[in-house]
Amino acid sequence: MDGSILPIARSTLPEAAAERLRALIIEGALAPGAKLNERELSDRLGLSRTPLREAFRVLAGEGLLRQLPNRGVQVATMTAEEVRHAFEVMAALEGLAGELAAERVTAADLADLRVLQAEMEAAHAARDLPAYYRVNRAIHDRLGAIAANPALIHTCRTFNARLHALRFRSNLKREKWDRAVAEHRAMLVALAARDGTALRDLLNRHLRAKQRAVLDAMANEDIANVLGGTPS
């Protein structure tokens, strides 16, 4: 038998629909607060309402949609309070990821992370924000992979999706950006030293800083439009 033979990826319509809608929500094509019409959406996706409704349940479970009985579903909105709460949890989870990663990290992992760190510094120097966010995400993903805890990774991913759906990444103050890059540098040092506690604390503070940045942005109404704020 050939070991390379693995089960072909069979996907059902609800899964495919959920994946598609998830992407649309995260990238902002479906804005927070938007109401989704079952019939219209099922027509556009080329499936019937039944599998679409199952996809709705999946995404509601992930916090990306909100289902109102007899009144349909809408893309979830988050208040500043909810964002604060989500970041508190994310900080604890990423802290745990750092702790676990410090126990398991290999020389190869460190080498890879140093490459990513260099890319981050380059993106920072070039003031290339999209590249920075891409590398930043790659680094955090890699840390999760090193931590090797699927439950942790899944939970992190879910919270991240909800936050990314807010699209708050539009702007980043120079000073905060500098600090974030410096924090990443310190994290790499702690990881190389296998100092789990230090890494956890660094990640905690790193996420709390991101939390403050996002909340400030929200307070400045840079993204007030996505908060589902219905002016009274």
Q: Could you say whether residue 25 binds its own copies (CB under 8 A)?
A: no
Residue 23 makes CB contacts below 8 A (sequence gap 6+) with none
What's the rounded Cα separation, in Å, for the pair 102 and 168? 30
Number of chain positions touching DNA (CB under 7 A):
21
Shortest CB 24 distance to DNA, Å: 16
From the CB of residue 173, how many other CB atoms can be counted at a distance below 10 Å?
11
Shortest CB 3 distance to its own copies, Å: 18
Q: Could you say whether residue 104 binds DNA (CB under 7 A)?
A: no
Residue from 22, 25, 32, 51 that binds DNA (CB under 7 A)?
Answer: 51
Residue from 34, 47, 161, 172 that binds DNA (CB under 7 A)?
Answer: 47
Ranges of beta strands (E only) in the chain are 35-36, 65-68, 72-75
Measured from the CB atom, the residue of 11 and 197 that comes closer to DNA is 11
Look at the block and give the residue holding tokens 């991913």: 157
For residues 94 and 88, the answer to whether their CB atoms sit within 8 Å is no
Q: Could you say whether residue 57 binds DNA (CB under 7 A)?
A: no
For residues 166 and 63, the answer to whether their CB atoms sit within 8 Å is no
From the CB of residue 221, how many other CB atoms can be counted at a distance below 10 Å?
10
Q: Could you say whether residue 171 binds DNA (CB under 7 A)?
A: no
> Could you tell which of DNA, its own copies, none binds residue 174, using a CB distance below 5 to 8 A set by kind?
none
Shortest CB 18 distance to its own copies, Å: 9
Residue from 25, 26, 36, 96 that binds its own copies (CB under 8 A)?
Answer: 96
Closest CA to 146 of 99, 104, 86: 104
> Could you tell which of DNA, its own copies, none binds residue 57, using a CB distance below 5 to 8 A set by kind?
its own copies
Nearest-10 crossing angle of helices 174-192, 129-147: 30
Footprint on this chain of its own copies (rule: CB under 8 A): 10-12, 14-15, 50, 53-54, 57-58, 60-62, 69-70, 82, 85-86, 88-89, 91-93, 95-96, 100, 149-152, 155, 159
